[in-house]
Amino acid sequence: MMRPILLEMTAFGPYKEKTTIDFRKFNNQNLFLISGATGAGKTTIFDAISYALYDDASGNSRSKDTFKSDFADDTDLCQVTFLFELNGKEYRIERTPRQMGPGKRNGTKQYESAVAFYHENGITTKIKEANQEIESLLSLSYDQFKQIVMLPQGEFKKLLESDSKDKEQIFRNIFQTEIILAFQEELKNQVAVLKKDAEEANISLRTSLRYLADLDDVVLQDAIMTEDIESVIQRLAEVTNEFELQENQITHSLNMSQQTIKKVEKQLEELQKLQQLLIEKEELAQEKDSFEQINRHIQNFEKAQGCLEAKNTVESEQQELTALENKRTSNEQLVIQLNMDAENEKNLFIRLQDEYKKIPEWREKEKELTKQKEQQLDLLQMKNESASLQKVQDKKEREYAEISEELLSLQKEIKRLEEKHEKSKQAQEQLTRLKEQQKDLQIEYSQLEQYDENINRLLVIIEEWHEAISTLKEMKEKAQKSSHHLMKKRTLYYDNLAGLLASQLSDDMPCPVCGSFDHPALALPNEEAPTKEQLDTIQKSNDEIQQLYATQATTVANLHKQIKSMEEQLELADYDHLEIKKETQEQFAEKQIEMEKLVLQINEKQQQASQLEELASALAAFNKKERSLELTKKEQQINIENQNRQLQTILKEIEALTKIIPSINLDEITEQIKEVENQIKKTEKDYPIVQEKIATIEKNIAIKNTENDSFNNQIEAAEKRVQNATALFQQKLSEANLSEDFEKSLISKDTYTLNVEQYTHYQDSVKINQRNILSQKEILSSYDGKSEEELDEILARIINEVEQENSKLQTLSMQKQTAVRGQKNITDTYSELSDVREKYSQIRRISEVANGTSKETGRLSFERYVLAIYYEEIVQAANLRLKDMTAGRYLLLRSEEIGKGAGARGLELDVFDNYTSQKRSVKTLSGGESFKASLALALGLSDVMQQQSGGIQIDTLFIDEGFGSLDSESLDSAIQTLADLNALGRMVGVISHVEELKTRIPVHIEVSHSTNGSSAKITM
């Protein structure tokens, strides 16, 4: 388990300044006390540990957002650093809460909560991940930590006195039984869902029954009224079969009627077709003249169309000739413009040739200017370098002076540490001698203590001996009286034997004494004499008294023997025991004072000697640093000398270069170089461009001249084509016997196409009509020859019959569908309802048992049953300690009282008082008794946690207050319990105001406060 090593608090709670508590200074004394005034910040130390580990305070009365010290301002940063050991490895946690803190330029800014958890695998800085890793590492949750490691102020007795509901929540967090609770809740949810499903199935079933009200069947409706579901399902199946039989009969009749209807309709259809064909024949005959006129228009259009095509060819050839002439004119103008451009570019080229010849001269000038610029730049760089070297030189000289001063100061500190180390060494030797004295004194003290203990035991035995003698005297007197009483009663009994015998004689009985049958003077019985049974009782009582007397006499003798033996052992035969006791106590007090003085001297020397190793380490470090500083000083001196030589060399170079460089401005040189470079670039760029332009223009002139020749040839050919097209056009007009206005006979192409289609369609329609009339007459010859009116009458009669049959069939089909659908819905719903009811019954019983609502289990839930098992183990472990702390008076018991209602129960506590042999509630215990019971319960919980959690080893316990309610004897037993824990290796920290604890617990963390905040220091 976790053992603290170091705790640092800055601006945390009442601690404004950085406060460090180094638990390593306890020197393996693991029982320590945190003391101080109220409000000084004792509990804050526990808060800091809890906050570092779990990101929360140790108790419920404080919030982590209030941790920042009220003594600090916004320029201070609240932080906690906690170093601890676990399984031989060290871990470090740094946390800062959300707060206002120092910002840039003396301002402030908002800091969010942050954490840094240092472990063997690196650093975790995300709060959620760090919290999970720390909890996993400790194997304890925050709630478990508060119940078994850190017992907060005000919550110490919570586990002891809380009711079952509160304990259930506490143990749930500790033993992590949420999964069982979730199982119980899941059962409740399943019960609710199944109950709802059953109710919905019932509603659905009744709804399905209501839909069957339209079925006119007496047997079915009777079953519905009584909600006899099985009878309803059976009758629906029978009704469905009846409906199917009727439906088949009607369907057969309808099929026969449909065949007759189709036959009649077919005959009517054929008669109507013939009549329609005859009408169509008459209409075609009436349209013959108009279609002949359309045919003539078609022939005239075809002749005019040939002339039009020849005319269009003439116009097309003429347009092409005109276009060629226009292109030739445009091309001739472009040639004139190109000749002018060529002349201009040639003049520009002659000027560029002159400038191009000057380029070598310009390049020489550029080189000279560039050389001057480089010399100027070198000079500037040397000056900058010399200035930089001068600064470095000045800095190194200052550092040399600082190192010399630091070395002098360090040598003084080494001398002081050597003196302190010598004193610490002497203290170590004195400590060895004092410990030898302490050992001798301890032996004397132990012997005196044993002597005093033996005297006390002797005095107790003497007191018991006096009491036993007093009791013996009383018992002796009682035994004498009992013996005298027995002798008296025995005499009376024997004296009365003659009277008893005489009372039993008759005239015919011989006397048992003399044998005579004559009894002249019978002895009379004594009424005061006891009977045989009474005498036996008196005898038994006397034997018991005598036995007690003998036993007491033996006890007195044994006690006297012990006294003599102890007096011989202590050589006190001739001394007053009380006087010896007084002298021993005085010697005991003197030795105790001497021991305390010696302890103070040892502590003082131990504190001085404890610094020996630290001083030796510091002295070695200072000596090492001194050697390092001397070496650094020597190196610095060499560097300064080298730096100075380098600086002088550069200054000489600057002086030499200044003499040979002309005094011209660097900017002017740069500008001149730029002008020359631009002039060269422009000339080199323009020269080939102009040359290329001239070549391009001359090439274009040649191309255009070639194009003009081509245009002349094309124009000559086009003129010949125009002449030929005109001659062809005149020939077409002559052949068609048309004049120049032939275009009047032309119609649109669409109109021509439409006329052709109409005329063709008319001719086709006449031919088709003739064929169809012949075909239709042949078809009608196969029928019976009835007229159309007769056939219409037959068809109307059959259709009326079919409509009546269809109406019957539709009604029958609807009733059948209702029966089939109702049977299916009711069957499915009834089956589902049966399954749901069975499952509901099973799950409800399991839920009642698991959730503690069943009387069979005494209303004890599954989770509380599991927790009760843990609780029994906790109580047993707690009783082992409570028995010692209460001298065997009290034992904790789980309350077996069964409460009313269905609330949480089974986790309340009672206490059995062996003094009264009565059981009562733990809430009746006094404050001190409650503290002891709470402490025992917390330790018992810790023990069970270790047993149940495998690898968890709980080696640390922090207790905040509670000791103030204990009397001296209870305080002794509580401290003894803590000391026993300490002896087993567990670290125990206690916060308390009780003064007696300061003398009983050797290691203290003393917390003090002032107007500037609190501080803490460790004292031994």
Instruction: Say yes or no to pLDDT of 21 above 90.
Output: yes
pLDDT in tens, 551-588: 777 787 778 778 877 877 777 655 566 777 777 777 77
Mean pLDDT of 97-121: 87
Q: What is the pLDDT of residues 29-88, one digit of tens each?
A: 778 889 888 888 888 998 899 899 988 887 666 667 788 888 888 888 999 999 998 888
Question: Exposed/middle/buried for 935, CB within 10 Å: 0-12, 13-18, 19+?
Answer: buried
Please tell me the distance from the alpha carbon of residue 773 to that of residue 275, in angstroms, as a whole number. 9
Element (H, E) at 483: helix 359-495
Q: At what angle do helices 178-210 and 862-885 cross, to 10 degrees?
A: 160
Topology adopted by domain 187-297+786-851: Helix Hairpins (1.10.287)
Which comes out higher in pLDDT, residue 259 or 513? 259
Residue scoring higher pLDDT (473 or 199): 473
Tell me the per-residue pLDDT of 863-896, one tens digit each, with 9 for 90 and over. 778 878 887 888 888 888 788 778 788 898 887 6
Query: Is the pLDDT confidence value at 123 over 90?
Result: yes
Q: Which of 680-684, 705-709, 880-884 has the lowest mean pLDDT?
A: 680-684
DSSP class of residue 966 equals -
pLDDT of residue 984: 60
Q: Tell whether the model's pLDDT for residue 153 goes beyond 60.
A: no
Q: Which of 133, 138, 97 has the alpha carbon at shortest distance from 115?
A: 97
Q: Which residues of 750-778 are buried (b: 16+ CB within 10 A; e: fewer)?
A: eebeebeebbeebeeebeebeebbeebee
Give the whole-angstrom CA distance, residue 748 versus residue 820.
72
CB atoms within 10 A of CB 133: 16
The pLDDT tens digits of the residues spanning 935-956 come to: 888 788 777 877 766 556 666 7
Among candidate residues 324, 325, 334, 347, the one with its CA nearest the CA of residue 700: 334
Per-residue pLDDT band for 343 (boundaries 50, 70, 90) equals: confident
Residue 12 is predicted with a pLDDT of 93
Q: 65-74, 174-183, 825-834, 941-950: which has the highest mean pLDDT?
A: 65-74
d(CA 816, CA 824): 12
The position carrying tokens 């001239």 is: 694
pLDDT value of residue 60:
63
Tens-place pLDDT, residues 952-969: 666 677 887 667 667 766
- Reported as a pLDDT band with limits 50, 70 and 90, residue 11 is very high
Report CA-CA distances (Å) from 13 to 8, 66, 81.
Answer: 12, 8, 14
The pTM is what?
A: 0.41
Q: What is the mean pLDDT of residues 319-331?
A: 81
CB half-sphere exposure, 889, CA atoms < 13 A:
11
Q: What's the rounded Cα separation, in Å, for the pair 557 and 577? A: 20
pLDDT of residue 428 exceeding 90? no
pLDDT for 135 equals: 87
What's the pLDDT score for residue 10? 94
Percent of the chain surpassing pLDDT 90: 6
- Over the stretch 272-292, which tens digit does the pLDDT of each residue have? 787 888 888 887 788 777 777
User: Can you tell me whether residue 31 is helix, strand or coil?
Assistant: strand
Residue 7's pLDDT is 94
pLDDT at 900 over 60: no
Q: Alpha-carbon distance 523 to 497, whole Å?
A: 9
How many residues in total does the chain contain? Answer: 1020
Q: How high is the pLDDT of residue 14? A: 92
DSSP state of 86: E
Q: Are strands 1003-1010 and 31-36 parallel, antiparallel or unpaired?
A: parallel
pLDDT of residue 953: 62
Instruction: Provide the 10 A C-beta neighbour count for residue 300.
Output: 15
List the one residue out of 612, 616, 598 whose CA is nearest residue 433. Answer: 598
How many Cβ atoms from other residues are within 10 Å of residue 742's Cβ?
20
Confidence (pLDDT) at 511: 63
pLDDT greater at residue 357 or residue 77: 77
The tokens for 572 are 């006190």
Across the chain, mean pLDDT equals 78
pLDDT, mean of residues 795-803: 81
**Cα–Cα dist 859/870, whole Å:** 18
